[in-house]
Chain A
Amino acid sequence: DADVTQTPRNRITKTGKRIMLECSQTKGHDRMYWYRQDPGLGLRLIYYSFDVKDINKGEISDGYSVSRQAQAKFSLSLESAIPNQTALYFCATSPTDFYGYTFGSGTRLTVV
C-alpha cells in the first residue's frame, strides 16, 4: 500500500455540488498539507495541519474547508464546487520542517 493514499483518483462533479477529497497516511507524520496544481502555476497551498488540533489556511483557502479526523486522516471539502476549482489536488505529509514532503498520487477533479 502507498504511504499516502488519496481517494478518489479522478472525479467529475457538477457546479454547486459538495465534494470531499480524502487523504490517509501510514507514515506516522504529524504534518499534513493540501495543495492544488494547475498547469504553469506550480503547487499552491490550500490548508495545512501540524497536528490533529491545528488547522491553518494557506494562500488559496477560499471556497475550501478541511477536517483532520485523526493523525492519519486529512480531508478537503469543496462546499459548492465551481469550474475554476478544476485542478489536480495533492495531499502531502512531513515529520518536520526540513525533512521534505511525501506526496500522494493526486486527485484529478473536474467541475462541469
Chain B
Amino acid sequence: AQSVTQLGSHVSVSEGALVLLRCNYSSSVPPYLFWYVQYPNQGLQLLLKYTSAATLVKGINGFEAEFKKSETSFHLTKPSAHMSDAAEYFCAVSDQGGSYIPTFGRGTSLIVHP
C-alpha cells in the first residue's frame, strides 16, 4: 500500500520568503501525485497534479511542484509567500493500477508572518 510522508506538521515563513513544503511517497511505479490546499473552515481545493507528463507542474496561486522519481518526492514550492497562503496543505498519492484511490498525507500547516 502507498504511504505518504509530509515532513513538518507546521512550516513558518516570512511574507515574501520562499515556501517549501515537502512530500515523499513510497511506490515502485510512478504514481499520480496531487497537492491540495485547505483554507480555514473550507473544504480542500486542488492546487496541482502530476500525471506522468512534465515533471515540473505549475498550479494555481503561483505554486509549483517537481516530481523527482529518484528521490520519490513531490515537494511544493512558491517563490514568494503571501499572507493569503496561510492554510493547511495536503499531499496525496495514488497508484497507476488498482482502485486509484489516493492516500493523503497528514498535512502541513503553513504559517506566514508579516
Contact = CB atoms under 8 A, between A and B. Distances in A.
Interface of B, helix, strand, loop or mixed by DSSP: loop
Interface string B87-114: 0001000100001111011110000000
Interface string A13-44: 00000000000000000000101000011111
| Residues of A in contact with B, size category | 20 to 34
Interface residues of B, number: 22
B90 A43 contact: yes
B34 interface: yes
Interface string A73-106: 0000000000000000010100001101111111
Interface of B: 9, 32, 34, 36, 41-46, 49, 51, 90, 94, 99-102, 104-107
Interface of A: 4, 33, 35, 40-45, 48, 56, 58, 90, 92, 97-98, 100-106
